[in-house]
Amino acid sequence: MDFRNCYEDDAYAAAYEKLEFPGTYYLAFRDLPGLFSRHAQGRRALDFGCGAGRSTRFLTRHGFDAIGVDISPAMVSRAQSTHPQGDYRLVADGELRQFAEESFDLILSAFTFDNVPTRDKKLALFTQLHRVLRPNGRLINLVSSPEIYWHEWASFSTKDFPRNRQARCGDPVEIINTALTDPRACVDILWPDDAYRDVYAAAGLRVLDVHRPLGRPDEPCAWVSETTTPPWTIYVLARDAAGSA
């Protein structure tokens, strides 16, 4: 299986543009406001890997002065057309040199690192995020738990990809987002908890909190695996006092 970033595909971007927070995605965003309240100080925010602007609009609705950045021209164009008053910027290969050091109180990266293929690339990006994060700022990294690639979900399917269960850290895994009108599989990179913690430490970031949301029986959604297995992992990170390695 060859890795490809499906979010740089214009047709996939067009389908993704219409997505808000259906099904399993609801759990990814449900508890973020509480994490913002507990950990964020200040209102200046960066949405790193903003896609079609869904997460940037979410930050704006919760009181942040947010800038969305992405490597995909198709996604940034769609974010700008959907939300013309928003601030969306194209960044080549995730490069953040346009921002001064210590620019942001909060950085949100929602699903971005699911699609970053190597440790070196992840480390380079987290090191840049460290640079633009204020000393008392917080970085919230929302990623797919490895278990999401092994089960069926309210709005995702992996039953056609049994080899996902043999995947190891850094291997490509496939998943279908059934909430999209585009039926093609998305190819992600499996990256478990210990591998994320290794990269965070190397980038000079420390883990303050880890949240793994579960669905509740009283919620108006036909949960499948969500009440027993968390599909997402949300890391709250701070700059390490010792600085980056």
- Give pLDDT tens digits for 96-138: 999 999 999 999 999 999 999 999 999 999 999 999 999 999 9
The pLDDT-based confidence of 95 (bands split at 50, 70, 90) is confident
State which amino acid sits at residue 210. V
Q: Per the domain annotation, does 181 fall within a domain?
A: no
pLDDT beyond 90 at 8: no
Return d(Cα 103, Cα 135) in angstroms, integer. Answer: 10
Q: Is residue 170 part of a domain?
A: no
Q: Above 60 in pLDDT, residue 1?
A: no
* Count of domains forming the chain: 1
Residue 130 to residue 109: CA distance in whole angstroms? 13
Residue 159 lies in a domain: no
Measured distance CA(213)–CA(193) in Å, rounded: 15
pTM comes to 0.90
Angle in degrees, 0-180, between the axes of helices 10-17 and 73-82, rounded to the nearest 10: 30
**pLDDT (mean) for 206-228:** 96
Q: What is the pLDDT, as a whole number, of residue 130? A: 98
For residue 158, is it within any domain? no
Q: Which residue has the higher pLDDT, 17 or 53?
A: 53
Closest to 75 (Cα-Cα) out of 24, 9, 141: 9
Structural domain range at position 116: 6-146+192-239
Domain membership of residue 202 (yes or no) is yes
Q: In CATH, what number is assigned to the domain containing residue 56?
A: 3.40.50.150
Position 11 scores a pLDDT of 53
Is residue 223 assigned to a domain?
yes
Sign of torsion over alpha carbons 37, 40, 45, 50: negative
In a domain, residue 69? The reply is: yes
Residue 243: per-residue pLDDT: 46
